[in-house]
Amino acid sequence: MKIIVGLGNPGLKYKNTRHNLGFKVLDSLAEAKDIDLRKSSRNYEAGKGTIEGNQVMLVKPLNFMNNSGIAVSALVTKTGAEPDDILVVCDDFQLPLGKIRMRRDGSSGGHKGLESIIGSLGTGNFPRLRIGVGLPGNMDAAEFVLMSFKKAELDEINRAIEQATEAVCEWVANGIDKSMSKFN
C-alpha cells in the first residue's frame, strides 16, 4: 500500500495558510478519488481507497507541523510501511509560487515538518513533493508560511494543487523516477 501524507496545521485558523498546501492536495485527492478522510487516531485523519488501481492511504497529521513526525511514526508502526512507500506533500517557501518539485529523498531543506519526520523515522529516504508558496523576501519565513494567499495568487495556487494531485497519482501508478521526469 502507498501512503500519501499531506502536511499542514490542524484547525480553522490555519485552513487557508501557505503551510497547509499538503492538506489541500489531500483534500483534492480525496474528492477526486472518492476517499473519505476520518479521524483514525489521536495523531491523524486517514482514508483508504484506490488510485490508478493501487491501494492507498491518505493521511493528514493532526499534530502541528513541527511535530508531524509523531503521526508518521505512529502510522509506520501501525502499518509496517517502508519509508519509500510514503510520499510526503508539503509547502516550500524556497520555490517560486506554484512550482512543484518531486524528490526521491533528501534533507528537510529547513522545513520543520520534514525535519520532524526525518527525526522520527531516522532517515530522509522517503519521497516528497514540495509546492512553492512564493518567496518571503524580507519577511520572517515562519510568519510568511502562516499567512493566507493573496487574491492575486489563488489562480496559480489552485493550478499547483491540481498539478500536485496529478503528480501524486503518477507516483502511485509509476513510481518516483517517472513522476520526477514528468513533473520536475
Which residues are part of the catalytic machinery? 19
* Strand pairing category for 54-61 and 44-51: antiparallel
Name the DSSP class of 19: G
What b/e sequence results for 80-119 when a residue is b if at least 16 CB atoms lie within 10 Å of its CB, and e otherwise? ebebebbbbbbbbbebebbbbbbbeeeebbebbbbbbbbe
Cα 117 from Cα 95, distance rounded (Å): 20
- Number of neighbours of residue 137 by Cβ within 10 angstroms: 6
Residue 103 CA, chain-centre distance (Å), reads 12
CB 101 within 8 A of CB 129: yes
Q: What's at 132, amino acid-wise?
A: G
